[in-house]
Structure 1
């Protein structure tokens, strides 16, 4: 036997053995028997649909209904316009993930306490009837606002997605809406109140090659966007094409986006980014450079730099005849202007000067380096400033994001090719049609992050207290608690939500939410808290039509996925699951429209093809979806060199802010400060709203003396190459390839008597985790860095603060549930901890 044939057969036998090892309470008769493949090898195209921003295509090889191997795209020769879309290690491990030992095989219902993970198998008919009957009952008793679909981002399908559940709900009166997301909540609010845009409309990454200075704050595309066509790839190509580009990276960690590609790495203490920005602003303003070089730009395109600009805008609002703007005018205070704040004059005269020396004590970055960055920004012809999302996932991250956005305004060079405004880069994707969901009749929405609070307190949550949207007034309550949760492709039910131990207690209480449904492929930590489990089909078992997602870079693409194997065991797609539930809610005909899955996909393919006009697509789209599946993969360079704010600066198109200008001073935030509950009422340190960006000392921050003694280390979470959030954690290959260990600076390790490989307990008042140590100078002193997304696995040992030690090492065992002041978003990178060697 040839070595290649032997390896193929061994791989297939390994798959079968893995499947055989999938033990659940279901009948073992459904297990695929191990036998060597003898038929002809089949090749199909599928996709890695994980939430990294790129739906990378994968080429799947199978024989006799068994997947033998997975390869990445290598069908073209790399060029400037068309190139290979190489999947990272995660996509290449999809065979292992498909045959994981914890695959869900059959619908199940809970028989023990929530969270115990005790289930018995049931039929699909019983599962659908139970869910459909309960949904109808809850809607009749409590209304549609009592139904909540936690937003799942674990699978970016095109057709058989969690949108199918939205379609189901909307056909039955809707469900409680949610706004924001765990990734970008606070930066979306910061961008809205500064530029009137979303937070991902910065200049395209490819335009970085036209810049002469890159300032990256928590910017890490090489680890976050690993796809061979993604932002990380565009970043590397831009660095290669640039001529003399100076790269300064600000981050608590020395990331893989550096590794010699940077001119300078400056480690910063987590949560102090606003102080960093203010010191640079102080240099630029106090030196007179702004007055001499960019003040005309600021006066023309922005409002709020000085008192006169605020007073002028206040007068315009008061005379506008717009009731909302007139309300804003009543609370606007010209004395609260940015120049006076930065220079500590006027009403801010009792505050310390925002000098580099002041910021050095807070950020840990030497004053001379802060001065140099100010000089670099002033001298740059096209400064490209980009702020990663890690900054916004801090306590009062809205403030930090707005403070950093200000640096681009002060340069006066916005709208110039090669410059950017601090937002994440804009990326256009190839359009693909998805299943229509209809409109949601429910007008109210809560922040995505406050769902766990709405289980017991939704009735009283208001716009004033919790940022509820769509109510009739500030104090009109939502009016109902959440009674049913549908969790599909979603680990925010437990693992990715803050403060896991508290979330578990909420879910365990059956007097709160009455039905929890988990639709997934694997027994995730959250699935153990479900009442009904629905086994989804994996990507390699699915037919679908998917695009390149939201951060794939310059190259757009479409994959016509074709199942490599038939759905295993008793798994069904989310479309099939929702259709079965629709039957018991009396809307099956409306849900399916009489179409089979094959007919739906053909219709969606035709819409996709018509929208693309086939221009520039390689190869060209064929006539039918089935023909497209045989080809599998289609690509097109989007040739998008978007420049942030160019249409406003050079085209005169007003921004979507209330003033139509860049808002250094936000009148809407001034109004919220006057009307929403915040620090003065809640007594939460640093959770305050201000009209201009201001550095604030927050709970669990570097300067929080309330917790620094008991919990001396700051803990920073980051994204590892071995997972996307919590997805792929259950793949042993990736656990071997990417170590799950907490990074500790050598100075801290010496003081604590630690060696690499030691196991420690890391704890605070919210929980305890067990984790291994990796000693490295790639993390700032006083800061511990831990990859987020490890699966919660409570053991049997009490930790130092009375919590069961989480042996899985989930960082959210330590994070705090404390919605941010403006976005009501997640501050999960703000943590203080203590450590103890086990």
Structure 2
């Protein structure tokens, strides 16, 4: 700065004692006006998404603007400020929830109905009125149903709007599914991307997905095996870390079985056992072999509570069929599943397999937490079924400190306020979620097993003729496998509607963008996510921004235009689109009084609940899955009334082509070689196995656009230091990952915390395609495969790739230095 510019800049100021001072008095804040706490209104609400919990957010607002967010401090559960105990832990939100204000007011916030005016994916839209948008959709729906039949519209609602008691986005019985079902034109999407193989395993093994303990039971474990589970990133209950810390303080041992050394492994000083991806079932089988050979199984538990664990527990009608023990010992197929057999398969030494098996079988109680990630692979259901067999053979089911978790559902809320019962889940056909593109591209020359066609009584075998998609709270175009295939398919559709609060990558491929209110802008009650025993009142904190409406408002108005508005929303009139507050309140109050107070013996009135903000259930005993089955002899909800290691259902299927799975699934858990893995000949061309875990700073793709979170982490591919050295790659280098399905660009992070020949690229990055079809954002779903997997598992972690340095630039969606400085402070392990 020159002397003249300096004097010009300080004109009007005074210079005293060599210091430049302003004529104005100093202020304590960086800018004025800045509201102080006593000027703000405090409103208790919650998070909204399926990140592993839904916990307290406290909105501090000035007028109709949220100024900041805080979280639980103990007082919102009716306790003194600061209360945080084992019996009453605070329901504290994580970094994602605490950033939610930035999502509400983000640059990507969708504020008005928009109509596409460019090519799909080009991102060119014009603003239109709600009347024009809804007229367009209603007319197109009628045309598609008339022209192509009652399977023409595909329901792809999911968790972007997430679960509330009233405002519910869900592919099974949510608002959109009910709407399309009542319209009489709906192809449903079955199978949950996160854990469908696990759902199948729990259903055929236990007869239920309610196989989870509440997380406070972890505090009583003597051994916790985190198999593919990184609760520092993806907890399954909001106080998971609190209780696991208690377990550690009480002497619990921790083991992590994972291709990478996770933050959870570091936190608990865990024994890390790196394992080749997709080989978990083989290692579990070898552990079972060691336990059987050394006769350290809990034979009393096996005899009382299992079917098919050994010859003595086989049903009489299947005495000559293969049982689990005979398979493990090699008596039925000639191949013992010994630790020596498993070592070259999974890359874990036989000695370590024996050591872990002995530790698990002889430590009581022990929790084998078989998480979902290893099940997101080809034949992923076999991993979870094998883990369930070990949980049973060691007697760690139904006991405090043990674990039977596959899916892991714990305490049950009374979840529904809206009258979903009538037409709640009507569909004309249902296909596996990630096979829609294959169906569209190949119709009508499609076999039912190729798309996971669910059996139907009256239209069984009919291939759906899909011509339109509704995305409600769903960024699935960005999230399902094999995105390049989906891009080909979407250009064959005639209607694509995206209902969301944010302009997402999926939205860029839509015909209509409908602005949906966030959970801060509508009245609801939050439910815990799989675990946790509480309700959180979720009032309307602010008025909806722009012209946003709730999903229920939009679908009610569409239903009126299509002739069934009153049936769809019985408490509402046509004015509901413009004034929904009283109706929503009526639904919620009726739910609270008729279901919560009546069925769950809650004495707190609706008015008291609204004032307090949180109702926390005090359970009479720890919530332990199947405790009554073990202690009181209650039967399991399976055909045999027992834990079915040998599945009655699977054993009695004769025509697999007429099932949704299409391909045979063995009646007992088995190791089945995946279609891509590190022992495959394909590694000559693609030598690295890519895994795609959930990131800490996003919930799938939600929050990807939040600058504050991108300052803490950035999308990068993690590589082993030895592999990186051979490739000439250092931390911060931009690399290309590719296979036959696609190409993506990401910066490299080099470390010893990842096993050789494995690469780690977190799922959920917002796609950013260049002109030659390369994704510059590092979205791994350009590399994943949408191949049908038996039992419905999504093969997000069955991916072989190659890696090289590239001159192409990484485009993370934000300026890298301004909002993602984390790479500056990362240590380069390759140096």
Alignment correspondent of 1:645: 626
- C-alpha change, 1:648 and 1:500, in structure 2 (3 Å) is same
Aligned to 2:462: 478
Q: CA 1:653 to 1:450, structure 2 compared with 1: closer, same or farther past 3 Å? A: farther
Provide closer, same or farther for how the CA distance between residues 209 and 10 of structure 1 changes in structure 2, counting only shifts above 3 A. Answer: same
Query: 1:415 deviation in Å?
Result: 2.8
Instruction: Say yes or no: does 1:304 pair with 2:295.
Output: no
1:98 matches 2:104: yes
Asked if the contact 1:464/1:676 (under 8 Å) is kept, the reply is yes
Residue 557 in structure 1 maps to residue 535 in structure 2? yes
Instruction: Supply the distance in 1 between the matched residues of 2:374 and 2:501 (Cα, whole angstroms).
Output: 32
- Which SS does the other structure have where 2:201 is aligned? helix
Contact 2:89 2:239 in 1 (8 A): no
Secondary structure at 1:61's aligned position in 2?
A: strand
* Matching residue of 1:708: 683
Q: Aligned pairs, how many?
A: 761
Q: Which residue of structure 1 aligns with residue 54 of structure 2?
A: 55
Question: What is the Cα deviation at residue 370 of structure 1?
Answer: 0.8
Tell me how far apart the structure 2 counterparts of residues 170 and 699 of structure 1 sit (CA, whole Å).
37
Q: 1:665 Cα deviation (Å)? A: 1.9
Q: Is the 8 A contact 1:211 1:419 kept in 2?
A: yes
Question: Match for residue 232 of structure 1?
Answer: 241
How far apart are 1:232 and its partner, in Å?
A: 3.5
Residue 543 (structure 1) aligned with residue 522 (structure 2) = yes
Corresponding residue number in structure 2 for 1:128: 134
Aligned to 1:396: 379
Deviation, structure 1 residue 466:
4.2
Closer, same or farther in 2 for the Cα pair 1:190/1:357, shift >3 Å?
Answer: same
- Mapped to 2, the partners of 1:516 and 1:635 lie a distance apart of 41
Change (3 A) 1:285 1:11: farther
Deviations 1:610-668 (A, max 9, x none): 233399999x84554xx755544444444662333333333222223233222222243
Q: Does 1:213 align with 2:181?
A: no
TM-score of the aligned structures, taking structure 2 as reference length: 0.85
Distance 1:773 1:721 in 2: 18
User: Paired residue for 2:154, among 148, 153, 157?
Assistant: 148
CA contact 1:616–1:637 (8 Å) conserved in 2: no
Matches within 5 A, 1:203-602: 203-225=213-235, 229-240=238-249, 243-290=250-297, 294-307=298-311, 309-310=313-314, 312-314=316-318, 334-346=320-332, 348-349=333-334, 351=335, 353-428=336-411, 430-431=413-414, 433-437=416-420, 438-439=422-423, 440-442=425-427, 444-457=429-442, 466-472=451-457, 476-492=460-476, 494-509=477-492, 513-540=493-520, 542-553=521-532, 555-564=533-542, 566-593=543-570, 595=572, 596=576, 597-602=580-585
Q: Which moved more, 1:480-489 or 1:441-450?
A: 441-450
Task: Please say which of residues 641-650 and 715-724 is displaced more in the overlay.
Answer: 641-650
In the other structure, the counterpart of 2:670 is: 694
1:832 CA displacement: 0.8
> 1:432–1:546: 8 Å Cα contact kept in structure 2?
no
Alignment of 1:23-38 (within 5 A): none
Name the residue aligned to 1:756.
731
CA contact (8 A) 2:48 2:519 kept: yes
* Structure-2 residue corresponding to 1:742: 717
Cα shift at 1:45: 3.2
Provide the C-alpha distance between the structure 2 equivalents of 1:376 and 1:3, rounded to a whole number of angstroms.
65
CA distances 1:405-445 after superposition (whole Å, capped 9, x unpaired): 21112213433322222424442255454322332443643
- Conserved? CA contact 2:213–2:408, under 8 Å: yes
CA offsets, 1:185-218, max 9 Å, x none? 11111112222221x5133322223332222211
CA contact under 8 A between 1:421 and 1:644: conserved in structure 2?
yes
Confirm or deny that 1:41 pairs with 2:21.
no
Deviations 1:774-793 (A, max 9, x none): 11222112111111110010
Q: Distance in 1 between matches of 2:246 and 2:620?
A: 14
In 1, distance between residues paired with 2:326 and 2:527?
46
8 Å CA contact 1:609–1:621 kept in 2: the answer is no
Work out whether 1:770 is the aligned partner of 2:745: yes
Following superposition, the deviation at residue 461 of structure 1 comes to 5.7
Q: Secondary structure at the match of 2:524?
A: strand
SS of the counterpart of 2:774? strand
- What is the CA deviation profile of residues 455-511 of structure 1, one whole-angstrom value per residue up to 9, with x for unaligned ones? 3456566665544224239x932243122211011011x1111011111111122xx
* Bigger Cα displacement from structure 2, 217-226 vs 84-93: 217-226
**Alpha carbons 1:698, 1:704 under 8 Å: kept:** no
1:655 matched to which residue of 2? 636
Q: Distance in 2 between matches of 1:669 and 1:571?
A: 48
Structure 1 residue 239: Cα displacement: 3.7
**What secondary structure, in the 3-state scheme, does the structure 2 residue paired with 1:784 have?**
strand
Distance in 1, Cα, partners of 2:517 & 2:89:
30
The answer as to whether partners of 1:115 and 1:508 remain within 8 angstroms in 2 is no
Query: What is the CA–CA distance in structure 1 between the aligned matches of 2:205 and 2:695, rounded to whole Å?
Result: 31
Could you report, residue by residue, the CA deviation over 1:700-720 in whole angstroms, capped at 9, with x for unpaired residues? 112221x11111011111111
Gaps of 5+ in 1: 13-36, 316-333, 799-803
Q: 1:564-586: CA deviations, max 9, x gaps?
A: 3x222222221221122123212
CA contact (8 A) 1:582 1:591 kept: yes
Cα distance in 2 for partners of 1:507, 1:524 equals: 16
Deviation digits for residues 102-138 of structure 1 (CA, Å, limit 9, x no counterpart)? 2112111112221111211111001111111222232
Q: 1:556 to 1:7 in 2, by over 3 A?
A: farther
Native 8 Å contact 1:762 1:834 kept in 2: yes
Query: Aligned residue for 1:664?
Result: 645
Contact 2:455 2:658 (8 Å CA) reproduced: no
2:776 corresponds in structure 1 to 807
Q: Secondary structure at the match of 2:435?
A: helix
Q: Which residue of 2 is the match for residue 185 of structure 1? A: 196
Q: Is the 8 A contact 1:769 1:807 kept in 2?
A: yes
- When residues 63 and 305 of structure 1 are mapped into structure 2, their CA distance, relative to the original with a 3 A threshold, is closer
CA distance in 2, matches of 1:614, 1:135: 41
- The CA distance in 1 between the partners of 2:31 and 2:650, in whole Å, is 61
Contact 2:46 2:536 in 1 (8 A): no
Residues in 1 aligned to 2:68 and 2:623: alpha-carbon distance in whole angstroms: 39
CA distance in 1, matches of 2:397, 2:37: 63
Distance 1:237 1:638, change over 3 A: farther
Q: Matches of residues 610-625 of structure 1 in structure 2 within 5 Å?
A: 610=593, 611-613=595-597, 621=604, 623-624=606-607
Cα offset, 1:394, TM superposition: 0.7
Contact map agreement 2:734 2:746 (CA 8 A) in 1: yes
3-state SS of 1:201 partner: coil
- Secondary structure of 2:744's match? strand
SS at match of 1:144: coil
Q: CA deviation at 1:724?
A: 0.4
2:165 is the alignment partner of 1:197: no
Task: Give the Cα separation in 1 of the matches to 2:28 and 2:348.
Answer: 57
**How far did 1:734 drift?**
0.7
Contact (CA 8 Å) 1:222, 1:233: kept in 2 or not? no
Q: Secondary structure at the match of 2:582?
A: helix
Q: Secondary structure at the match of 1:718?
A: coil
Aligned to 1:27: none
User: What's the CA shift for 1:69?
Assistant: 1.6
Q: Kindly report the root-mean-square deviation, in angstroms, between the aligned alpha carbons of the 2 structures.
A: 3.0
Going from structure 1 to structure 2, the CA distance change for 1:745 and 1:118 (only over 3 Å counts) comes to: same
Distance 2:144 2:222 in 1: 59
Deviation at 1:44?
2.6
Secondary structure of the 1:265 match is strand
Preserved CA contact (<8 Å) 1:386 1:420 = yes
Change in 2 beyond 3 A, CA 1:616/1:397: closer
Give yes or no for contact 2:46–2:526 (8 Å, CA) kept in 1. Answer: no
Pair 1:563–1:144, CA change in 2 (3 A): farther
What residue ranges of structure 2 are gaps of 5+ in the alignment? 1-23, 76-80, 807-831
Change (3 A) 1:8 1:677: farther
